[in-house]
Amino acid sequence: MKYSIFELSGCILKQTNMSVAALNFRGLTIIEKVARTKFIVSKTERNNNFVEPSPSLEEITESVNDLESKNSLLNEGSGVNKLKLKIANLFHNKIMADFTSYVQSKSGGDAVKIQSSGLDVKHNSNKSKLLAKVCNVKARPGDFSGEVVAKWKLVKGTKLYISHKSLNGLEGWISTDCTSTKVKMTITGLVSEQPIWLRFAAVNSLGHGEWSEPVRVMAS
């Protein structure tokens, strides 16, 4: 990746040519959403860029089939069926949002890799601004083994938050493969009861802002 350095209020921010994955479900009918999901599944199958999708393609297929089935029952005109469809739609939106986050993380913001999954790429906007540093990070052990839960202060203009981990907090930083669109992230797959250092950055169409100060935490 190419980097260019900008100084903003005395802080140095790194701008990357990072693209942002877009699901683009907004405005679609259920039938259109089902078709788009099946297209995404077909593009991701046997895709070397995304060998072990999370959620799995089996989970996504099960969810979209359930959504399609619930939608077909609307012809019976039952209020119960409408409620079931609403619940299935909300669940499917969530599972596909998780898949979009997975693609974003695994692709490293590479537009070609993102599009190879069937997802779209958000276009850069002239209104986008370099993002500020993620601050006030607090982390604690999660509820399950190998899990950490972190929170921080909102960074305006953020589309996505990404995270890195390191054994000493100085070097060897690698992606946790966990992302979030909120100011809270659950990081999984860590070694239980082993201290780990974490850092976070905000992402928009211009790339990611400055990394947070590293925080030391022990996974549950």
Q: What is the pTM of this model?
A: 0.53
Q: Which domains does the chain have, with CATH numbers?
A: 21-121 (no CATH), 124-218 (2.60.40.10)
- Confidence (pLDDT) at 113: 92
Measured CA to CA, the distance from residue 138 to residue 150 in angstroms comes to 6
C-alpha dihedral (184, 188, 194, 199), degrees to nearest 10: -40
Render each residue's pLDDT in the chain as its tens digit; 220 residues. 333 333 333 333 344 457 889 998 888 899 999 999 999 999 999 999 999 999 999 999 999 999 999 988 876 666 778 888 999 999 999 999 999 999 998 998 888 999 999 999 886 544 556 788 999 999 999 999 999 999 999 999 888 999 999 999 999 999 998 999 999 999 999 999 999 999 999 988 767 888 999 999 999 8
